[in-house]
Amino acid sequence: MGSGIYSFLLLKAFYKPFEAFTELAKVDPSPISIIFRYSLWLMLLPPVFSLIGAANFGWRLGANEPLMMGPNSLILISVGYFFVLLFGLVTTAIISCWMAGTYGASESLGRHFALITIVAQPLAIASIAHLFPDVLVNVLILIPTLIWSMYLLYKGIPIALDTPPERGMLMASSLVGWLLVAAVSLLGISMALWTMGVGPLLGV
Amino acid sequence: MEAVSENTYHDRIVIRLIQFSVLWAVAGMLAGVYISAELIWPGLDFGQFWLSFGRLRPLHTNGIIFGFGVSALMATAFYSVQRTSHVPLFAPKLAWFICYGWQIIVLLGGLSLLAGWNTTKEYAELEWPFDIAIAVLWVSFGIVFFGTIATRKIKPIYISNWFYGALIIVIAMLHIVNNLAIPVTIDKSYSIYAGAQDAVVQWWYGHNAVGFLLTGGFLGMVYYFLPKHAERPIWSYRLSVVAFWAFAYTYIWAGPHHLHYNSVPEWVQSLAMVMSVVLLAPSWATMINGIMTVSSAWEKLRTDPALKFIVLSLAFYGLATFEGPMMSIRSVNVVSHFTDWTIGHVHSGALGWNAMITYGTFYFMVPRLVGRELHSVRLANIHFALALAGTLLYIVAMWAAGVSQGLLWLSVDQLGELSFGFRDIMASMTPYYLLRLVAGLIFLTGTFLMTYNLFMTLKGQHATKVTVPAVNPAYGV
């Protein structure tokens, strides 16, 4: 347990994802230890970057002046962001584990946590773009990263979860379906909360 | 016209409809790419009315929905109804009349839109002479389709035919009721409905055109071609029947969610909202049915590039049918309405669901129709990657643009005045529109590859003669 997959966490899995997937296929790690030794720290990055960026520059939605928010609103957004990411990671790993039965993949929950974190890691690191909170800059940096992450998802499932590539492709597509729905839910829920007056003041 | 015996399926007409469908896909998407460029560089209309956004936009939507979409639905309906009924098409001459008549309507209708003829009803822009022609052709489509079912040799009516049947009946009803108008001149008529009633009728039409044409019709495609592709029966036939009736009952109420915060009674808006949310259940039942059918047939993915398109189309179907009900909730709609989020939503359906399922189906049908292998599996795989990338980029760009617009439009300063002018907000959209243009070009490139691939597969070939197989006596009429 001491070596193997754990030696890839935190950073090595970022630049050697495929070796990390191969290592992962050999072990059955504990979900708790994956979360605390790996996932949690990466999930902290985007909220911290966005907090620093928005406090210094304000969010640029596109039109003239940046939106400067008060400290309370900023902290509320950042804490909310962290919990949303954590919720996303945990639910995706659990759903992935649940789907595994259908696609003949490994049902070790720890592996699913590690797999989803390895896939999400490039996005967590690319969130450094939040330091300059201009929507366009973020979109331009995060979209190529998103494509890379999706590539890792499609390639990683068959390796890490011991399933043929074709079944892995189907499972990855089902997970993409879930992730798209989760993303749009997040948009919808945020919008609904804002318009109902719950949540941060946008400085407007 | 066609040398077929009584015992052979009419497949030449299917090939012709596929060719027209691909032609309109290219033309419609080109128009789409052009108008998306106009939103960045307005000077691209070169001062010509017929090149202006206002005239090209309905050309884009009508070309895609009625040219690409309906031709594909007619092709697949004719293909599958013969095979599920074990009988050649009823009234094949009428079917040929529909095939060419429809293309003439799309062509002349498109030109009339460029000339500025326009009822101003979204997705029902064509003026009254075209509306009458469409009604005649649509009823003819129904005669051929239901005639084939009436003369079937096999007792059960397979589920795909229920969906195609609902498409034909409901679209006829919607089209005729919504387009009732008093003609004034050849190019101008006035709706018989006034004010808010006109709006309610229009969105009853508009949303159910999405429902029964872009959803129901294409579900017919899924229910026939997915099990064929996978060589497996549908995962749960019972679920498909339950989903059909739930879908047919629920969809018809959802239209007024396009009129939130408008001058229609609030209970009408609330009813539409509730029914839209309920609609998630039958939509997802179908998605799960499709995903489970294909999940047991994964070996097919090794040899069949087309199946990937169908798998992914189901994922986007899941997204679009979740996003739609969510956007119909008033407190979300207050942000999303009148923004590019709506455009993103429409395209997650149109590109991710409708176009992908059609592409997958064409890659499946065309080699079988002419009895040879697909010209290039590699090109089809590249097309898949381009279609996926184009769709995702499109959706993400429009989500970012839409949410920005929604929030900026709702921003008021301490005096209660709008913080940003409409023009300023639109001017700040250029980067997102550039991303969308790139997304459109990527998707269009994929469509070009498919056009070439299908052209080379069809080149010099004739439709294979497929004899009607014998019916198992247990299922005979």
Asked if A167's CB is within 8 angstroms of B316's CB, the reply is: no
In tens, the pLDDT along B279-321 reads 999 999 999 999 999 888 888 887 788 888 998 999 999 999 9
| Confidence band of B383 (pLDDT split at 50, 70, 90) | very high
- Asked if residue B208 is part of any domain, the answer here is no
- Asked if residue B268 is part of any domain, the answer here is yes
Asked if A146's CB is within 8 angstroms of B410's CB, the reply is: no
Shared domain for B323 and B399, answered yes or no, is yes
At A137 the pLDDT is: 85
Which among A143, A170, A185 has the least Cβ separation from residue B396? Answer: A143
Shared domain for B188 and B280, answered yes or no, is no
CA neighbor of B320 nearest in space, from B328, B330, B332, B309: B328
In tens, the pLDDT along A138-156 reads 888 998 899 899 999 999 9
- Asked if residue B31 is part of any domain, the answer here is yes
Our CA angle for B86, B89, B91, nearest 5°, is 145
| Confidence band of A134 (pLDDT split at 50, 70, 90) | confident
At A40 the pLDDT is: 92
Taken in order B221, B224, B228, B230, the sign of the CA dihedral is positive
Asked if A103's CB is within 8 angstroms of B295's CB, the reply is: yes
DSSP state of B89: P
- Cβ neighbours of residue B377 closer than 8 Å, sequence gap 6 or more: B305
- Asked if residue B242 is part of any domain, the answer here is no
Shared domain for B172 and B297, answered yes or no, is no
> Looking at residue B304, which CATH number applies to its domain?
1.20.210.10
What is the model's pTM?
0.92
d(CA A107, CA A99): 9
- Asked if residue B271 is part of any domain, the answer here is yes
- Asked if residue B476 is part of any domain, the answer here is no
d(CA A122, CA A142): 9
Nearest-by-CA chain B residue for A62 = B428
Which among B341, B393, B404 has the least Cβ separation from residue A62? Answer: B404
CA of residue A129 relative to chain centroid, distance = 15
For residues B381 and B305, the answer to whether their CB atoms sit within 8 Å is yes
Return the higher-pLDDT residue of B296 and A48. Answer: A48
Which among B298, B341, B399 has the least Cβ separation from residue A166? Answer: B298
CB of A139 less than 8 A from some CB of B? yes
- Please spell the DSSP secondary structure of A54-110, one letter per residue: HHHH-BB-SSSS-B---HHHHHHHHHHHHHHHHHHHHHHHHHHHHHHTTTT----HH
Which of chain B's residues have a Cβ under 8 Å away from the Cβ of A180? 315-316, 318-319, 348
At B244 the pLDDT is: 95
At B408 the pLDDT is: 84
CB of A11 less than 8 A from some CB of B? no
| Confidence band of A201 (pLDDT split at 50, 70, 90) | low
- Asked if residue B89 is part of any domain, the answer here is yes
Assembly ipTM: 0.83
- Asked if residue B74 is part of any domain, the answer here is yes
Range of the domain at B42: 1-192
At A61 the pLDDT is: 64
Which of chain B's residues have a Cβ under 8 Å away from the Cβ of A62? 404, 408, 425, 428-429, 431-432
Determine how many CB atoms are found less than 10 A away from the CB of residue B252.
17
What is the total count of domains within chain B? 2
Asked if A196's CB is within 8 angstroms of B400's CB, the reply is: no
CB of B412 less than 8 A from some CB of A? yes
For residues B284 and B318, the answer to whether their CB atoms sit within 8 Å is yes
